[in-house]
Amino acid sequence: MAESLLSESPEPITQSSRSGAEPGAAAGKVLVVGLGNPGIEYQFTPHNAGFLAIDRIAGERGAVVGNRRCRALTATVKIAGRDVVLAKPETFMNLSGVAVQALVREHEVDPKRDLIVLYDEIAFSLGTVRVKERGSSGGHNGVKSISGALGTEEWLRIRIGIAPELPAAADSARRQRKHYVLAPFRKAQLAVLDGALDAAARAVEMILAQGVGAAMNEFNKRENGPV
């Protein structure tokens, strides 16, 4: 395990003519984006699970996500033999698509094939990790911004559960979503999240090494609840 957590509207981008492929199917560059809000006050909040996952992936490879490109902090690493650009948008959550669109163009990646986005998902319990090929925003402003900027919902995502485990607490968190996602995690929650970040990092590596189908079979297990 890596170091513990405890110690104006953009125009849609045109889809590439390459279709039907998935990350891991070609030798080109891959863009892996984690969503969150910049600023120390947001660092360990549920809404920053995507940022924390990117830092975990980078840290495992001795990299620091600190280069400023396309309104994002970035680093380039190797995963499963692929050149991977790790990115954390600095545009705040509801404008994530501005940075993602610019990164997609800068690195000439096909969003459907070579983009993976990691973000928090309040529909799932803390510690849960899910892989999904496409879909609506589900009320997540960062996801909505990215789909709007790219002009498509056809991009791969890894969702990191953030809801409390107890049903009553989870219901309360979902009712008060805006407050919950921006409130700092408790110490006990960070311990659970730590394992989820390791899992999210493994999911990225599995997608690139074996394909999205293998990752979905591994992480979207029935005992962990609905996909």
Q: Is residue 23 part of a domain?
A: no
Q: What is the chain's pLDDT, residue by residue, as a tens digit (227 residues)?
A: 444 443 333 444 444 333 334 554 456 899 999 999 999 999 999 999 999 999 999 999 999 999 999 999 999 999 999 999 999 999 999 999 999 999 999 999 999 999 999 999 988 899 999 999 988 777 788 899 999 999 999 999 999 999 888 788 888 888 777 888 999 999 999 999 999 999 999 999 999 999 999 999 999 875 444 44
Q: Is residue 5 part of a domain?
A: no
Show which residues are catalytic: 47
Contact in structure between 42 and 121 (CB atoms under 8 Å) = no
Q: Is residue 11 part of a domain?
A: no
pLDDT of residue 73: 96
Q: Is residue 17 part of a domain?
A: no
pLDDT of residue 21: 43
pLDDT of residue 102: 95
Q: Is residue 64 part of a domain?
A: yes
pLDDT of residue 46: 94
Q: Is residue 92 part of a domain?
A: yes
d(CA 166, CA 164): 6
* C-alpha angle 42-46-50 in degrees, rounded to nearest 5: 85
Number of domains in the chain: 1
Q: Residue 90 has what DSSP assignment?
A: S
Would you state the structure tokens that stand for residue 103, as one six-digit string?
A: 């990164």
Residue 47 φ/ψ, nearest 5 degrees: -70, -10
Q: Is residue 25 part of a domain?
A: no
CATH of the domain at 220: 3.40.50.1470
d(CA 208, CA 64): 21
Q: What residues make up the domain containing 48?
A: 30-224
Q: Is residue 2 part of a domain?
A: no
pLDDT of residue 222: 52
pLDDT of residue 56: 97
What residues have CB less than 8 Å from 194, skipping those under 6 apart? 1, 4, 5, 6
pLDDT of residue 22: 52
